[in-house]
Amino acid sequence: MEATPSQPKKNGLRRYAPFIAGIVVIALIVVLTKGNGSGDEGDTQPADQGARSNIALIKAGPMTPDKAKLEGKTVDFGDNCDVSTGRVKLPTVYAPSCVEPFQGDNGGATSQGVTATSIKVVAYVGDPKKDPLQAALVKGAGSDVDAGLTRETLKGWVDMMSEYTELYGRSVDLEFFSGTGAPSDPVAAKADAKAIIDKKPFAVFSGPNQTDAFADELTAAKIVCLGCATATGQTFTRERSPYLWTVGPLPEQASALAAEMIGNLFAGKKAIWAGDAVTKTKTRVFGAVHYDTPAGQQRDAWKTFRAEAKKHGVKISSDIQYYLDLARAQENARTIIAKLKAANVTSVIFYGDPLTPLSLTKEATAQDYHPEWILGPTVYADTAVFGRIYDQEQWKHAFGLSLIPARTSKELSGAYQQWVWQYGTPPPSNNVAVIAGAPGMFFAGVNLAGENLTPFTFRDGLFRAGVQGGNPLSPVNSRGRHGIWPGIGEDLGGSDDATLVWWNPLVKGEDEIGNAGTGLYEYVGGGKRFLSGEWPTTDPGLFDPTKSVTIYKTIPADMKPPSYPSPAPKK
């Protein structure tokens, strides 16, 4: 039911001190660097080497509470600093670190797009008319696609964060660029990137995210690219460091979390959550429907999933790759469902975008096929905004991984609440949590980069932020070498943990952007989150409303962000 249950036990995650929270989560952590950071130390190091390197990195940066403590100094960080947390007075657990107010010479033009007084940033804003079918589907789900509202929200977020972070005598010179093509058009993406390169910015926010062409051009020109490509793989991202930064975890990380979850909880057991009596009695046979692009953006991530799945005892009997082609979606779904049926798949692992399940579930019902639907790594398929548009006879048998935080009411959600706190009015776009992602990374990096702003010191600034978050409403976020992902070396991804959800088609309430309706995801264990190696091996409460939460209508005391007087004008 849609209510706040008795408060779940405090999350048992292990490491924590604090992207902008909401649908998308951004992360920052410490990393081993040497010189100007142009080298890489490799993928192995002694267990304590990362910690020693983190200390060195903090000492090499601007004066922060952590640095002052290390050096035994007493420092006045100004009225904007909450000395009890060491972070600026923003009502979010992801607030940037306090930095000693800057005085003196900032070095002037330390990098392209940087002068003594400004940092040039270009924000890419896509044109919904370039992909009308996708825009219509997204708008039909209630999500804003108005480019004007996106610009207004971006500008407001930049203005807000400029007040609370140290920019070392500079201000942000924000310019908007209107995309000329669909998000999957590599030719238009490359042309747009070249046009932006001519503007000589230090950084770019967002981009056409279904092709690597945009990110490839910008990073080759040594421009910091924030959220300009969706779910780029570990190899692609590492080869373009320190210029390319993605929102959320790397695909390989999400794949590892999903494979462990499926192996620990579902492999070798009966398909008890399927949609027909016969299938419920069968031992699970897994099939996978997974997204890729013609350029193979997800190829490495899928290989990681297959390898991790095998390690956890998950055999994929039917492996079906698809491209996002909405004009042929129903035709493609017909073929996919027929293949899954022919392979006797009881449990479909879906790994992809939020629109494809619309045609898949419709077609499954048309073919009288009623499997379990297991959410692997997805983009927004784990939101009620999209869950409600799927065939409900099918989706009531859906469960699995969610990378986003447990739900609150819209008014209590992180980015929305922060905007209202600052301005006293609702944000222009109901996609504020998504829009805030790139500027959240930007200000976190600049804040801790120091006055000598370059792409390398920007990277170091991101790494100095430390491990943040650590409860159902605030996912763990980290970058670098912190022992969370020991097998991948330098972690360049975002959020590190995930939770278990199931779809309840009967419960009523608001979706993530405030639309009233029926159908919500239930967060098992109140949204308790698991890092790699922590997934349980027994069912923690799937399809049991007494062990799940739909929406937190009040925030438990141990999950509340700090509270400060609002600067918004009094009404």
Return the percentage of the chain with pLDDT > 90, whole number: 66
The band of 21, judged by pLDDT with boundaries at 50, 70 and 90, is very low
Residue 152 has pLDDT above 90, yes or no: yes
266-291 confidence digits (pLDDT tens): 999 999 999 999 999 999 999 999 99
Cα 466 to its chain centre, rounded Å, is: 17
322 neighbors 336 (Cβ within 8 angstroms): yes
**Could you count the other beta carbons within 10 Å of the beta carbon of residue 429?**
24
Q: Over range 338-357, report the average pLDDT.
A: 96
Q: Over range 286-311, report the average pLDDT.
A: 89
- The more confident residue out of 442 and 327 is 442
The band of 146, judged by pLDDT with boundaries at 50, 70 and 90, is confident
Instruction: Name 378's Cβ contacts closer than 8 Å, sequence gap at least 6.
Output: 350, 351, 352, 353, 354, 401
Residue 128 has pLDDT above 80, yes or no: no
Q: Return the structure tokens found at 410.
A: 């819209």
- The more confident residue out of 108 and 140 is 108
124 neighbors 181 (Cβ within 8 angstroms): no
CA atoms within 13 A on the CB side of 365: 13
The band of 31, judged by pLDDT with boundaries at 50, 70 and 90, is very low
Q: Is 302 within the bounds of a domain? A: yes
Q: Return the structure tokens found at 468.
A: 């943040």
18 neighbors 96 (Cβ within 8 angstroms): no
Cα gap 350→320, rounded to integer Å? 10
Q: Is 71 within the bounds of a domain? A: no
Return the percentage of the chain with pLDDT > 70, whole number: 87
Residue 308 has pLDDT above 90, yes or no: yes
The residue type found at 48 is D
Using only C-alpha atoms, the chain has a radius of gyration, in whole angstroms, of 23
Cα 61 to its chain centre, rounded Å, is: 27
Q: Is 65 within the bounds of a domain? A: no
Cα 289 to its chain centre, rounded Å, is: 21
Measure the CA dihedral 120/126/127/131, to 10°. Answer: 160
pLDDT value, residue 454: 98
pLDDT value, residue 44: 33
Structural domains of the chain, count:
1
| 486 burial via Cβ count (<10 Å: 0-12, 13-18, 19+) | middle
**Could you count the other beta carbons within 10 Å of the beta carbon of residue 122?**
24
pLDDT value, residue 170: 98
Q: Return the structure tokens found at 267.
A: 């492999």
Residue showing tokens 């392209």: 112
Q: Over range 246-251, report the average pLDDT.
A: 82
Q: Is 549 within the bounds of a domain? A: yes
pLDDT value, residue 485: 85
**Could you count the other beta carbons within 10 Å of the beta carbon of residue 410?**
17
Instruction: Name 276's Cβ contacts closer than 8 Å, sequence gap at least 6.
Output: 370
Q: Is 344 within the bounds of a domain? A: yes
**Could you count the other beta carbons within 10 Å of the beta carbon of residue 168?**
25
pLDDT value, residue 5: 35
Report DSSP state, residue 263: H
Q: Over range 436-443, report the average pLDDT.
A: 93
Cα gap 529→13, rounded to integer Å? 8
Q: Return the structure tokens found at 152.
A: 């207004």
Whole-model pTM? 0.81
pLDDT value, residue 25: 29
Beta bridge partners of 291: 322
> Can you give the CATH number for the domain in which 384 is found?
3.40.50.2300
The band of 346, judged by pLDDT with boundaries at 50, 70 and 90, is very high
Residue 196 has pLDDT above 90, yes or no: yes
Which of these ranges, 191-195, 282-286, 328-332, has the smallest mean pLDDT?
328-332
pLDDT value, residue 398: 98
Instruction: Name 133's Cβ contacts closer than 8 Å, sequence gap at least 6.
Output: 326, 327
Q: Is 111 within the bounds of a domain? A: no
Tell how strand 347-351 and strand 244-245 pair up: unpaired
Instruction: Name 307's Cβ contacts closer than 8 Å, sequence gap at least 6.
Output: none
Task: Return mean pLDDT, the chain.
Answer: 86
Q: Is 258 within the bounds of a domain? A: yes
Q: Over range 123-138, report the average pLDDT.
A: 65
512 neighbors 405 (Cβ within 8 angstroms): no
Number of residues that this document lists for the chain: 571
pLDDT value, residue 272: 98
Q: Range of 293's domain?
A: 252-407+498-558
pLDDT value, residue 416: 92
Backbone phi, then psi, for 507, in 5-degree steps? -75, 145
The band of 144, judged by pLDDT with boundaries at 50, 70 and 90, is low
Report DSSP state, residue 100: P
Cα gap 32→52, rounded to integer Å? 9
Cα of first residue to Cα of last residue in the chain, in angstroms, is 36
Residue 8 has pLDDT above 90, yes or no: no
pLDDT value, residue 135: 54
pLDDT value, residue 495: 85
CA atoms within 13 A on the CB side of 494: 31
Cα gap 539→258, rounded to integer Å? 15
pLDDT value, residue 130: 64
Residue 46 has pLDDT above 60, yes or no: no
Residue 480 has pLDDT above 60, yes or no: yes
Tell how strand 87-88 and strand 81-82 pair up: antiparallel
pLDDT value, residue 326: 82
pLDDT value, residue 344: 98
The residue type found at 459 is R
Q: Is 427 within the bounds of a domain? A: no
Measure the CA dihedral 43/48/50/54, to 10°. Answer: -170
